[in-house]
Copies of this chain bind each other. A is one copy, B any other.
Amino acid sequence: MGNMKVHQLARGLWEHEPSLSLGCKRLRPLAPKLHPSSSPDHTSVSSFDLKTFIRPESGPRKLCPSDDKRDSHSPQVETHPGGTRWNPTQEQIGILEMLYRGGMRTPNAQQIEQITAQLGKYGKIEGKNVFYWFQNHKARERQKQKRNSLGLSHSPRNSAPITTITLDSRGEVMEREEDSPYKRKCRSWSFEYLEEESRSSSSSQEEENRTLELFPLHPEGR
């Protein structure tokens, strides 16, 4: 599966570029599906060129290049041949559930990073797996609850106070009650990546040291 990267893109602060628009219209009357050829306008951005989009490094990479190592004594360890989906170990699930019970629902990127690092000790895992796990778990707990409440009508969904676990540098855990009824301020963001895209990280010794590859930040000024 693809290679996943923790993107940490553009965070640099640029000066607000002298954008000469702002406030202007921004959306054209929907022109559903017209052939691009019929819309010569917009091209005012002359310098833009599709070609410039191409990076020398891009291009569809192959999966594990002819890995003939697939012999009989193939260990059951990792080996993401071409890319399979994450298959969590008991330990990983345990930790995740613990965190979930602790109140974590949508970890932000940093948290994901750390969780991933931890879980990586018990098996191969990537940040996105953690992210998805929380998404799915939350959603499925929700529907399970809904199903149950239907048949049981036990409304007390959460009699237990919701707590927030905070980790500080000393590793202490603090708990406090949730006070915000609704908050929408998650900072994690995700987007899909290439399909087959290499996974490359084949077998062998890439067990640890799995540094999150951060976005190949281009030397953009920041």
Bound Cα distance A63, B222 (Å): 10
Contacts A219-B158, A220-B120 given; does A107 touch B214 at CB 8 Å = yes
- Copy number in the complex reads 2
Q: Is the CB of A75 within 8 A of B180?
A: yes
**Chain A residues numbered 110-155 whose CB sits less than 8 Å from any CB in chain B:** 110-118, 120-128, 131-132, 137-138, 140-142, 144-145, 148
Q: Mark A151-171 against chain B: 1 for CB-CB distance below 8 A, else 0.
A: 000000110101111111111
- Chain B nearest CB from A92 CB (Å) reads 8
Q: Are B6 and A164 in contact (CB under 8 A)?
A: no
Q: Which of A32, A72, A131 has the most CB of B within 10 A?
A: A32
Known: A141-B32, A220-B120. A89 touches B11 (CB 8 A): yes
| Chain B residues within an 8 Å CB radius of A3 | 79-82, 84, 188
Q: Which of B31, B90, B166 contacts A14 (CB 8 A)?
A: B90
Residues of B within 8 A of A19 (CB): 87, 89, 122-123
Partner of A167, one of B10, B101, B211: B211
Q: How long is the Cα–Cα vector from A53 to B114 in the complex, in angstroms?
A: 5
Q: How far is the CB of A191 from chain B (nearest CB, A)?
A: 4
